[in-house]
Amino acid sequence: MLALLDFRVRQRDFLLEISRAITAQLDLSEVLKRVINASVVMLSGQVGLIALRDASGAYRIRATLGVESSRVPFLNEQLKEMLEMASETHEYAAFDSKLRETAEALDPRLVQTFALPLVIAGEARGLLIVFRANRGTATPDDIQVLQSFADQAAIAVSNAQLYERIDQDRKRLAAIVQHSADGVLMLNANLEIVSFNRALERMTAWKAADVVGLPLDEVITWKRVDKGDLRESLDAGWPFRSRDNTGGDVSEEMVYVEGDLLRRDGLTLSVGIRYAPLLNADGELTNVIANVRDITNFKQAQEMQNIFISTVSHELKTPVALIKGHAATLRREDVTWDADIVREYSAVIEEESDRLTALIENLLTASKIQAHQTMQLNQDEDVRLDHLAEQAVERFKSQSGRHSFKLNFDDDFPPVPGDSVRLRQVIDNLLNNAIKYSPDGGLIEVGGCADDVSVSVYVRDEGVGISEADSEHIFERFYRVDGTLTRKTQGTGLGLYLSKAIIEAHGGTMRVESEPGQGATFIFTLRQS
């Protein structure tokens, strides 16, 4: 009797020791390993396995002892059949019979099996199975000890699974933050940097290893602030309380700061930063999360849009004023105009009307290209680009007495399929630019050459030229080279944008070759068929 009591005490001590060991571990693989080892030892078994329930509800073996890895697929299939059989018949005998067949298939010496469910809060999380080579009878105490062990094992497995999911979520979130296109940094309550992602390294020229622990103001320094201030917001009670213009309290989730950031290397970058608070359960500020976005392109586009609106307003006012002025003069009843004056004023009205129509057409075309990313063409004809160039030169000769013009096309320059109206627009735009950006006059040459598959046409001037930086943007919508001459010269920044769009719609290419002070050569190439 004393021997039996001693055995029970040692059995419970063993259970307690194993339970402590498995509940002290959070790594799922290690927990499963400890559970299966302890189970086999407790039951004097030779083979053990643990199957866990996945998100779809299916059971998959996650840990084994005494089983070759090559047999795991077989065991998974057997387990699936057992569970389906038990689910259909609601009888343990059928499950037990299939379990004994599985044991015999693994090793004929395995004559007894134990299957313990792993249950948390009434929900099945997994199944623990042990096979052994000797038969024995389990007493109610044995069953109680085993069930206690299974309950402890279920808790350990559940905790490890929860930790695994949390760890996966943490790693996933860290990966998202690190690879975000926006800069992300975390501050503590004292506005000291806790984390700093790769995008922010690129934006600020600081390394994450160098900034952790530094005050925010040492890293995020401003050359100019356009709006917002984090410290002022904190002093005003953010995120707990802030006051509006009437003195009333208002809630404020985020603080937005925008301006030119001074990088570590001395360069500047236009950024917008949104600061969001992180509060603990007691409502105390523990962290501030900052999302930093590079708004350089946005500000440039905004500036270009403002310039465009101003330019277009001016471009529209000029012809409208001339048309109205000349028409009002002709309508005067106190004067009788001779035929020459009427023709002269009518010519001005017609010329300015054409100019106004061309401007409106350019705006509409640019809008359609932006909306549909394409341009409708009428390419049912063969176009002689050399003839279009000759006609264009004749028209532009009358507009400038300071420039000389030269045509330089191959004698056998071939026609190309295309839209003659649109291609004429390209040549007119290039000639118009050549005249505007060579204010001191000089030679403007239009020429072309051909090979077996394509033709190339160029317009060359001896004007102010274009810098390499401007050459990269010269074909963008609304872009105009910044300079004194540009500010004095009429234009909307659409001519080259539309010209390139027309050429690309024909399947061709356009480029510019230029240096400041050395003139510019615009070249477009089209296929012959």
Angle between helices 420-436 and 385-397 (to 10 degrees): 40
Contact 59, 52 (CB under 8 A): yes
- Determine which helix (DSSP H) or strand (DSSP E) holds 209, and give its type and residue range: helix 208-211
In this predicted structure, what is the pLDDT of residue 85? 78
pLDDT at 245: 52
Burial of 228 (0-12, 13-18, 19+ CB in 10 A): middle
Residues 51 and 155 in one domain: yes
Radius of gyration of the chain (CA): 41
State the Cα–Cα distance between residues 438 and 451, nearest whole angstrom.
Answer: 31
Do 449 and 475 fall within a single domain?
Answer: yes
- Please state the domain count of the chain: 4
Kindly write down the DSSP assignment for every residue of 308-369, as one continuous string: HHHHHHHHHHHHHHHHHHHHHHHT-TT----HHHHHHHHHHHHHHHHHHHHHHHHHHHHHHH
- What angle do helix axes 92-106 and 72-89 make, rounded to 10 degrees? 160
Q: What is the pLDDT of residue 4?
A: 42
pLDDT reported for residue 359: 76
Q: For residue 1, count other CB atoms closer than 10 A to its CB.
A: 5
Answer yes or no: do 76 and 154 share one domain.
Answer: yes
In this prediction, residue 221 carries a pLDDT of 93
Question: What is residue 184's three-state secondary structure?
Answer: strand
pLDDT of residue 316: 76
* Cα 144 from chain centre: 57
E-strand stretches of 58-209: 59-65, 112-120, 123-132, 183-188, 193-196
What is the pLDDT, as a whole number, of residue 459? 95
Domain check: are 400 and 520 in the same one? yes
CATH number at residue 150: 3.30.450.40
Q: What is the pLDDT of residue 2?
A: 40
Ranges of residues in the chain with a pLDDT under 50 are 1-5, 7, 242-243, 247-251, 484-488
Both 275 and 414 in one domain: the answer is no
Cα gap 203→292, rounded to integer Å: 9
Quick one: CA dihedral 435, 437, 440, 446, positive or negative? negative
The pLDDT of residue 162 is: 85
Average pLDDT, the chain: 82
Q: Output phi, psi for 86, to 5 deg.
A: -65, -35
Domain with 279, as residue range(s), is 183-294
pLDDT tens across 172-198, in order?
A: 888 887 888 899 999 999 999 999 999
Q: 131, 157, 174: which is the final residue of a domain?
A: 174
> Which ranges constitute the DSSP H helices of 398-453?
420-436
Per residue, the 3-state secondary structure of 28-45, as one string, reads HHHHHHHHHHHHHHHCCC
Q: Do 164 and 253 belong together in one domain?
A: no
Terminal C-alpha separation, the chain: 106
Q: Please report, for the domain that includes residue 523, its CATH number.
A: 3.30.565.10
Q: Which of 351, 372, 393 is the last residue of a domain?
A: 372
Cα–Cα distances (Å) from 226 to 124, 261, 299, in that order, read 59, 11, 12
Q: Are 238 and 255 in contact (CB under 8 A)?
A: yes
User: Can you tell me the distance from the alpha carbon of 164 to that of 9, in angstroms, rounded to the nearest whole number?
Assistant: 35
d(CA 233, CA 137): 74
Alpha helices in 398-467 (DSSP H): 420-436
**Global confidence as pTM:** 0.49
Backbone angles phi, psi at 261, to 5 degrees: -80, 135
Rounded Cα distance, 39 and 375, in Å: 74
Q: For residues 78 and 128, state if they share a domain.
A: yes
Same domain, 267 and 207: yes
For residues 194 and 186, the answer to whether their CB atoms sit within 8 Å is yes
Same domain, 53 and 127: yes
pLDDT at res. 374? 67
Domain boundary among 263, 294, 325: 294
Q: Are residues 281 and 312 in the same domain?
A: no
